[in-house]
Amino acid sequence: MSTSKSKLDAGLVRELAAILREADLGEVEVEHEGLRIRVSKATSMAPVAPAVVHAPVAAAPAPVAAAAPAAAPAVAPAAAAPANAITSPMVGTVYMSPEPGAKVFVTVGDKVKKGDTLMLIEAMKTFNPVIAEAGGTVKEILVDDAQPVEFGEPLIVVE
C-alpha cells in the first residue's frame, strides 16, 4: 500500500476538488497508471469537505456506466432552447468579461458581428471564447457571470 501512496499526487487531488466545486459536480474520478482517484461530495445538505478514495484498479468501471443515465434528465431542459440560441460547446464556467472588474463583452440590445466574442468559458484553467456565429442583435443572455454550464446548454440569443 505504501507504493500506492507514493504515486498519489496531492496537487492532482486538489485540482480535482476544485473542478468538483467549480463545475458543481457530485463526483470526479480519474484513473492513471493503475491508480484510481475519486473525489466526491457528500449527499447531505450539511457542507462537507470532498472525500478522496484511492485504490488499485481491478474492477470494471460499472458504477460509472450506471451514473450516465442519471445525468440525462439534467440535460433535458436544454432541448427547449430558444431559436437562434448559441449553446455551450463544453462543460465549464461562463465569464461575461475578459477579467474581473472589466467591461462585459455584450449586453442585451448590443449589435454583434460574426466572429465577435460574446463571453468566455473556462474549462481546465483554459479560457475559450464563445463566438457569434452570425451578426445580429443580442436579444437575451441566458446565463450569469461565473455560472457553471453544461455542454449544449443555451447561453445567449442573437437574432
Among the candidates 50, 71, 92, a domain finishes at: 71
pTM over 0.75: no
pLDDT at position 105 over 90: yes
The answer to whether residue 138 sits within a structural domain is yes
Same domain, 66 and 88: no
132 exposed, middle or buried (CB, 10 Å; 0-12, 13-18, 19+)? buried
Across the chain, what does the average pLDDT equal? 76
Residue 68: its pLDDT value, please? 45
Domain that holds residue 62: 2-71
| Tens of pLDDT, residues 14-66 | 777 778 777 777 777 777 666 777 777 765 544 545 555 555 555 455 554 44
CA distance 5 to 54: 9
Total structural domains within the chain: 2
Same domain, 98 and 130: yes
